[in-house]
A and B are shown apart, each in its own frame.
Chain A
Amino acid sequence: MKLLYSLFSRRAFLNSLIGGWLAALGAAFISPLLKYIVPPTREPDQVSVPLAEVQDLAAGSVQGFAWGNKPGLLKKAEDGSFIAFVGVCTHLDCNVSFVAEKRRFYCACHEGWYDENGINVAGPPPAPLRRLAVSVEGDALIVKKQG
């Protein structure tokens, strides 16, 4: 059957077919490149800190450790137990420091403050410091992702 009228010509139909095919081909080439450019980041499942390194820590003071590529902060509570944080500001990712005389964590980038339990109390930080789970196993402290 021969159509008297058509909404588009044979040429327009073939052009869109070839165009669509080229776009699909392009996407097929680009998608592996997009995958390549962001490498996987391995956050450690757990980090062990020898007890000997932190046993002499005074109550209320803080010591750093490496949580993968990020600084971790280990704080000794008054009752002798340990709590751990990822020492990275929740505002814009700067590394925080512990200001012992104020008993607060401080981010120098945009003047953010967290109390000694890592709760955001002043400045721009939108959330508390990320907590990590700490347990004692043998002669080491094991720091793990929480939850």
Chain B
Amino acid sequence: MNVLRAWIEERLGLRAVAAFLEKKEVPRHKHTIFYYTGSSILLFLGIQIVTGVLLAFYYQPTLAEANASVARIVTEMPLGWLLRSVHSWSATFMIAIVFVHLLGIAFTKAYRKPREATWITGVLLLAASLAFGFTGYLLPWDELSLAATKVGTNLPKAIPVVGAWLTGVMRAGEDVTGDTLSRFFIFHVSVLPLAVIALLGVHLFLVQRHGMSVPLEEERKGAKGPVIPFWPNFAYREAGVWLILLGLLVTIAVFAAPGLGPQADLMAPAPEGIKPEWYFLFLFQTLKLFPARILGLNGEIVAVLIMMAGMGLFAFLPFIDNRPAERKGKVIAGLVWAGLAYAMGMSIWSLL
């Protein structure tokens, strides 16, 4: 055994990694719970990869077969209904925890110098996660997913100069057709996973390079606060969190499997009650409320430009909030709270 270990060590030099893990510490304070969110996201990402690969064994991304092949997976394949349900619920869990992760970082201002690059890779990972959700939503090819995709892919059209081209790229042409389905499938199973692996590599490297961020208020207390050793103390706690989340996920997946609507018809009128996934509801409700014309401008264009400006500000938050401890920082924290209240309020309104 020792010979084998020495043989491996000579070739891989894993001692350095082990030494790093032995020294790694996790700060202990009242916001420590947010440190668990990162690894929980990784758990759900892993589940998505495994269940996704299994679903793709039988799924067929064509106009004629997409809806029927999903029906076949959930009705004929052994435990296929459970796999699809876990994939769908795990996506929801993952996005929910991504939001908690994000809010924890925003409110403890963990993005402040020198962690700006970590924040930006995180924002890109968030965009990739939402793109996963958006492309995956179309794949069952039922009435609701078609209508939601038409709306979602039409939005970029409002962007000046490149908008129409972007919509063309997303739809594979001017309209949503079978080519759109192929395109969404290949993005869902190939382009986005590659992008996420690359971004995640950088993100995780930066997190290790800078160590865990300590909230501003703790930092101000001066002396280094209490810590938990990462290995094995914190890792075991994370394992406990994983077990609880896994139990919750499978329980919900068993009792609330997602349905499958009738096959999408490109010529049929949009069905009543179309709704995007819950994480797009606040955007959906905002679009519904915007009037057709605002000050002589097209209301949709105004809405999309405001949304884009909001996203842009958000992506560069560390550079805007460059004096986190001062008054400006407090105003920005207030604005983040207001944004959260807006998103939650709009989401609840759209469900009423």
Contacts and interface: CB of A to CB of B under 8 A. Distances in A.
A77 B165 CA distance: 38
Nearest to A107: B270
Contact of B300 (A39, A40, A41, A124): A124
A38 B273 contact: no
Given A69-B177, A95-B270, A124 B287 contact: yes
A87 B211 CA distance: 56
Contact of B273 (A40, A108, A125): A108
Contacts of A89: 270
Given A38-B169, A109-B274, A70 B175 contact: yes
Contact of B169 (A37, A41, A126): A37
Contact of B154 (A39, A43, A71, A92): A92
A3 B147 CA distance: 68
B150 A41 contact: no
Contacts of B268: 71, 95
Given A39-B173, A95-B270, A111 B288 contact: yes
B172 A124 contact: no
Contact of A124 (B169, B174, B270, B288): B288
B184 to A, nearest CB: 14
Contacts of B267: 64, 66, 70-71, 95
Contacts of A64: 267
A30 to B, nearest CB: 13
Interface stretch (B13-21, B23-31, B65-73, B289-297): B289-297
A55 B305 CA distance: 47
Contacts of B274: 94, 108-109
B299 interface: yes
A110 B298 contact: no
A38 B269 contact: no
A107 B292 CA distance: 14
A108 B292 contact: no
A89 B281 CA distance: 20
Interface in A12-58: 37-41, 43
Nearest to B174: A41
Contacts of B177: 69
A108 B270 contact: yes
A96 interface: yes
Given A38-B173, A108-B270, A108-B271, A126 B150 contact: no
A111 B287 CA distance: 11
A40 B298 CA distance: 27
A125 B274 CA distance: 17
A95 B342 CA distance: 30
B270 A41 contact: no
Contacts of A107: 270
B311 interface: no
A23 B270 CA distance: 46
A111 B270 CA distance: 11
Interface string B204-224: 000000000000000000000
B154 A126 contact: no
Contacts of B174: 41, 43, 69
Given A39-B172, A39-B173, A92-B300, A108 B154 contact: no
Given A39-B173, A107-B270, A108-B273, A124 B154 contact: no
A91 interface: yes
A97 interface: yes
A68 to B, nearest CB: 8
B151 interface: yes
Contact of B269 (A37, A40, A41, A87): A87
Contact of A38 (B172, B270, B298): B172
19 contacts: A37-B169, A37-B172, A38-B169, A39-B179, A40-B173, A41-B173, A43-B174, A64-B267, A87-B269, A89-B270, A92-B151, A92-B154, A92-B155, A93-B150, A94-B147, A108-B269, A111-B288, A124-B288, A124-B292
Given A38-B169, A126-B292, A126-B298, 11 more contacts: A38-B173, A39-B172, A69-B174, A71-B266, A92-B150, A92-B151, A92-B155, A93-B150, A94-B269, A97-B270, A123-B292
